[in-house]
């Protein structure tokens, strides 16, 4: 077969006029369908560069039957052919095949992906193959686009990307159960005199875990570089079985010196709108597919979020609205208790009909590091609530006073010796600062219209499941 430089299908469909009808190109990809008759075969070829397939037209007189039999749904081929304007409906251009090489066959009796639709549940069981479907191609391309947009936004706005550790020796982040990291023999660990596992003999000389948040280290960076962000994997060993939780997920955590809670809200809103707009500006092919197949209101909802202000109000105001709503809630609303999902959904989806930012929560339901308000009862926390998703961002202005922070640690029984380095930032050159955490997969749920978080990450890790 003549050696030609491969052209991506996205490139052909976008620039076929520049490439020029009548010219020979090489395309490589995976066969979605083959149909036709004795004289001509039509192959829908996809290489993942774009959601659309390109049609390969094969005049069977020029090809041997044995080769053509190998070309089935799922097989991988390389084609040299002439790019021509298509006489048929449904595509502008197609490729008149001259030479075909079969790279890999896919036995139709055993290849699990068919031409017809599959349920998302079934595709989760074959997560190694689901990237080859239209849906996961769209989701994974958008996942890349969103990742890129995150870095671009922060870079363009004077933030530095800080790599916070994955393995942490601190157990004080207060963000839930952790995965232990150890090289000790699980069957026969060294013990102390009192019979406890002796972690001084472990790899790091102490008990270590996978991080549940990069925030504490992020603050160290912000109190030197002014504006930093993290974007990395995060782990929670909670036994959560919901469409919104993963044991391994990706989180974006900006942290800004000299920002108060209002600056923090401004940034969160601007950032989220930027990401949604980036999707609308750069992922329209995939968005149109997802809108058509999964969520008819997706594109409209994304546009609405970009064009409208988020509703900002305090926790106390939210409680008053909920109490006055006349709604029957399963859980009663009362000042001092954390809001339940049903309450958040009511505010976002029934009352305000737009994203909501809640601030100034009671201090006893929030983390130790949040800045205390002068009322002695509330802290400068903020939660951003999105339609369909619920909490997409959690953040706060941080307590910069050493005295108040230490007092709060003692009240909440957080050992100061474990976070001496964190407390040092308040001891030496402390500054007002703020930050938040955005769950990347929750953002992906919103921009793709997918309903289950396991369908917006390539290989989901959930309780009882670490396959692939």
Partner RNA sequence: UCCUUCUUAGCUCAGUUGGUUAGAGCAUCUGACUGUUAAUCAGAGGGUCGCUGGUUCAAGUCCAGCAGAGGGAGCCA
- CB closer to RNA out of 125 and 266: 125
* The binder of RNA chosen from 311, 314, 340, 407 (CB under 7 A): 340
* The binder of RNA chosen from 101, 121, 270, 411 (CB under 7 A): 121
Shortest CB 253 distance to RNA, Å: 9
Q: How far apart are alpha carbons 268 and 397 in whole angstroms?
A: 13
Tell me if 465 contacts RNA by CB under 7 A.
Answer: yes
Stretch touching RNA by CB under 7 A, among 106-114, 132-140, 276-284, 410-418: 106-114
Residue with tokens 């069957």: 187
Q: Which residues pair with 235 in a beta bridge?
A: 248
* The binder of RNA chosen from 6, 28, 98, 124 (CB under 7 A): 124
Q: Between β-strands 208-210 and 180-181, what pairing exists: parallel, antiparallel or unpaired?
A: antiparallel
* The binder of RNA chosen from 49, 134, 226, 240 (CB under 7 A): 240
Shortest CB 446 distance to RNA, Å: 11
- CB closer to RNA out of 169 and 390: 390
Residues contacting RNA: total by CB under 7 A? 71
* The binder of RNA chosen from 20, 243, 336, 458 (CB under 7 A): 243
Stretch touching RNA by CB under 7 A, among 143-151, 370-378, 389-397, 411-419: 389-397
Tell me if 417 contacts RNA by CB under 7 A.
Answer: no
Stretch touching RNA by CB under 7 A, among 19-27, 155-163, 241-249, 280-288: 241-249
Q: Which two tokens stand for residue 323?
A: 């109490």
Tell me if 390 contacts RNA by CB under 7 A.
Answer: yes
Tell me if 320 contacts RNA by CB under 7 A.
Answer: no
Which positions from 245 through 274 interact with RNA, judged by CB under 7 A?
A: 245-247, 249, 251
Tell me if 341 contacts RNA by CB under 7 A.
Answer: yes
Stretch touching RNA by CB under 7 A, among 264-272, 274-282, 397-405, 435-443: 435-443
* The binder of RNA chosen from 6, 52, 118, 180 (CB under 7 A): 118
Shortest CB 210 distance to RNA, Å: 13
Tell me if 203 contacts RNA by CB under 7 A.
Answer: no
Q: Which two tokens stand for residue 264?
A: 């923090």
CB atoms within 10 A of CB 346: 20
Tell me if 35 contacts RNA by CB under 7 A.
Answer: yes
Which positions from 135 through 194 interact with RNA, judged by CB under 7 A?
A: 175-176
Shortest CB 109 distance to RNA, Å: 5
Which positions from 83 through 102 interact with RNA, judged by CB under 7 A?
A: 86-91, 94, 96
Tell me if 398 contacts RNA by CB under 7 A.
Answer: no
Shortest CB 311 distance to RNA, Å: 18
Tell me if 392 contacts RNA by CB under 7 A.
Answer: yes
Give the closest residue to 156 by CA, choosing from 317, 274, 238, 251. Answer: 274
Tell me if 331 contacts RNA by CB under 7 A.
Answer: yes
Q: For the chain, what is the HEC assignment?
A: CCCCCECCHHHHHHHHHHHCCCCEEEEEEEEEEEEECCCEEEEEEECCCCCCCEEEEEEHHHCCHHHHHHCCCCCEEEEEEEEEECCCCCCCEEEEEEEEEEEECCCCCCCCCCCCCCCHHHHHHCCCCHHHCHHHHHHHHHHHHHHHHHHHHHHHCCCEECCCCCEECCCCCCCCCCCEECCCCCCCCCECCCCCECHHHCCCCCCEEECCCCHHHHHHHHHHHCEEEEEEEEECCCCCCCCCCCCEEEEEEEEEECCCHHHHHHHHHHHHHHHHHHHHHHCHHHHHHHHHHCCCCHHHHHHHHHHCCCEEEEHHHHHHHHHHCCCCCCCCCCCCCCCCHHHHHHHHHHHHCCCEEEEEEEHHHCCCCECECCCCCEEEEEEEEECCCEEEEEEEEECCCHHHHHHHHHHCCCCHHHHHHHHHHHHCCCCCEEEEEEEHHHHHHHHHCCCCHHHCCCCCCECCECCC
Tell me if 128 contacts RNA by CB under 7 A.
Answer: no
Shortest CB 350 distance to RNA, Å: 14
**Helices 284-293 and 134-156: angle between axes, nearest 10 degrees:** 130
Shortest CB 428 distance to RNA, Å: 27
* The binder of RNA chosen from 19, 28, 72, 132 (CB under 7 A): 72
Tell me if 16 contacts RNA by CB under 7 A.
Answer: no
Which positions from 39 through 68 interact with RNA, judged by CB under 7 A?
A: 39-40, 42, 44, 55, 57
Tell me if 15 contacts RNA by CB under 7 A.
Answer: no
């Amino acid at each position: 077969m003549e050696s030609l430089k491969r052209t991506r299908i996205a490139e052909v469909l976008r620039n076929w006029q520049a490439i020029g009808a009548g010219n020979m190109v090489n395309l490589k990809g995976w066969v979605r369908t083959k149909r036709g008759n004795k004289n001509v075969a039509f192959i829908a070829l996809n290489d993942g560069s774009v959601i659309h397939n390109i049609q390969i037209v094969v005049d069977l007189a020029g090809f041997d039957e044995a080769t053509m039999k190998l070309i089935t749904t799922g097989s991988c081929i390389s084609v040299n052919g002439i790019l021509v304007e298509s006489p048929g409906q449904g595509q502008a251009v197609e490729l008149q095949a001259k030479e075909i090489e079969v790279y890999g066959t896919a036995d139709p009796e055993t290849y699990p992906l068919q031409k017809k639709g599959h349920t998302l549940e079934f595709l989760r069981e074959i997560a190694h193959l689901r990237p080859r479907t239209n849906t996961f191609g769209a989701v994974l391309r958008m996942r890349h686009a969103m990742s890129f947009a995150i870095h671009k936004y922060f870079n363009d706005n004077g933030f530095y990307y800080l790599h916070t550790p994955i393995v942490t020796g601190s157990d004080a982040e207060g963000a839930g159960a952790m995965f232990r990291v150890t090289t000790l023999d699980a069957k026969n660990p060294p013990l102390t005199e009192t019979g406890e596992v002796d972690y001084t003999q472990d790899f790091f000389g102490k008990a270590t875990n996978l991080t549940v948040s990069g925030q504490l280290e992020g603050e160290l960076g912000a109190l030197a570089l002014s504006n930093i962000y993290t974007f990395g994997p995060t782990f929670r060993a909670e036994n959560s079985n919901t469409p919104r939780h993963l044991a391994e997920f990706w989180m974006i955590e900006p942290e800004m010196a000299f920002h108060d809670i209002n600056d923090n809200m401004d940034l969160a809103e601007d950032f989220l709108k930027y990401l949604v707009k980036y999707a609308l500006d750069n992922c329209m092919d995939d968005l149109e597919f997802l809108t058509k197949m999964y969520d008819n209101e997706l594109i409209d909802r994304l546009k609405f979020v970009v064009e409208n202000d988020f509703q900002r109000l305090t926790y106390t105001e939210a409680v008053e609205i909920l109490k006055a709503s006349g709604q029957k809630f399963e859980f009663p609303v009362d000042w001092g208790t954390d809001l339940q999902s049903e309450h958040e959904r009511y505010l976002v989806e029934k009352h305000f009909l737009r994203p909501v930012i809640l601030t100034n929560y009671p201090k006893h339901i929030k983390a130790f590091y949040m800045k205390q308000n002068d009322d002695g009862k509330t802290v400068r926390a903020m939660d951003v609530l999105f339609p369909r998703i619920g909490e997409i961002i959690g953040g706060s202005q941080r307590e910069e006073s050493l005295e108040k922070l230490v007092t709060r640690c003692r009240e909440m029984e957080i050992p100061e010796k474990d976070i001496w380095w964190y407390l040092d930032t308040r001891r030496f050159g402390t500054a007002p600062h703020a930050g938040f955490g955005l769950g990347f997969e929750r953002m992906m749920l919103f921009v793709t219209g997918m309903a289950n978080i396991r369908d917006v990450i390539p290989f989901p890790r959930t309780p009882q499941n670490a396959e692939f």
